[in-house]
Each structure stands twice: as C-alpha cells, then as structure tokens.
Copies of this chain bind each other. A is one copy, B any other.
Amino acid sequence: MPTPDRTSLDAIVDAGRDILEAAGIARLTMQAVADRVGVRAPSLYKRVRNRDDLVRLITDATVRDLGERLAAIGVGTDPRRELAELARAFRAFAHARPRGYQLIFAARPDPAGPSMEALTRAVEPVLRVTATLAGDHHALDAARTLTAWANGFVSMEMAGAFNLGGDVDQAYEYGIARLADALAR
C-alpha cells in the first residue's frame, strides 16, 4: 500500500458540516474542507464527485440526524404530550444546527432527491402522532399543518422575523397548545 488513506468520506462530510455551521454555505469550499481534514483539495475528488455532491451528502447526513432526534421521542400514552415533545425536539435541532437545518428545507433545483425521502422518514413520528390525534383520514393533512408550522416558526425565528418583542419561547408553546387543540378532533 503505497499511500494509505489519510481521510474518509465520513470525515469529509463531518468537516463539511462543521464548516457549514461555523462559516455558512458560501465558505463551504473544497479548499476549506480539505484544510480541515488535512489533505489537499484535489484529493477530495477521489471520494466526492463535486461540490454539489458534497452539499447533498451533508444535507442527507443532517436529515438523518434530525430523524434520530425525533425517533428518540418515545411513544407515550398522551399524544398531546408527544406532539409537544416532537415540536420541541424539532426546534432544538434547528437551533443546534441552523445552517444544516436551512439546507434541508431549502428549495433545490432537483426537488426529488434522496434527501426528501429521508426527510419523509425523519418526520414519520409526526405522522404517527397526528394519526392518533386527528384520525387516519386526516393524518397527512394534520402532519403537514404541524410540520409547516414548526418549520415556519424556526425559520422565521432564525431569520430574525420575530422582532415585535414578546417571548418567542412562549409563542412556540402557545402554538403547540393551539395546534394540539386544533388537530385533536
């Protein structure tokens, strides 16, 4: 073995995620990733097709991460409590990895990527709780209402769109309570 592996795909993706969070998508360059994993930029192309491919891999990894957080919310006896915990976990994830989160829900040129299937799996716990609350027939509509609200809330929060004062945490709890009421029929 003339030249042993000095890095790996996982290391590259992890480095990319770190750079993304620390410096933003514009600073997520092949050069920056290479510096962080300790190789030269051209070496990255042995494991990643191009920059777009790397961004896609980072998005996928982030979606899986979100899915794990939501799946960690155990199925309880009280669906309203479960809804609340899912919503809080969702927001906490967005706060922990804001740029990766934005990447998940950013409009892509090709909307039908593997990230979207993964996203569907990630929010499966939501579909489960809305089925319990709203019934199987309205489960999908209810899940869309709930995820739309949660996503919109944290997006606006992170964009600084909540600038009229008031307690933002409390506004989120208000939304949780109102939506739980609204969906439970």
Contacts and interface: CB of A to CB of B under 8 A. Distances in A.
A125 to B, nearest CB: 14
B144 A175 contact: yes
A32 interface: no
Contacts of A159: 105-108, 111
Interface in A151-165: 151-153, 155-156, 158-165
Given A105-B161, A116-B163, A141 B171 contact: yes
Interface residues on A, range: 35 or more
A140 interface: yes
Contacts of A148: 149-150, 152-153, 155-156, 175
A144 B153 contact: yes
A134 to B, nearest CB: 9
B120 A164 contact: yes
Interface string A158-182: 1111111110101100110011011
A106 to B, nearest CB: 6
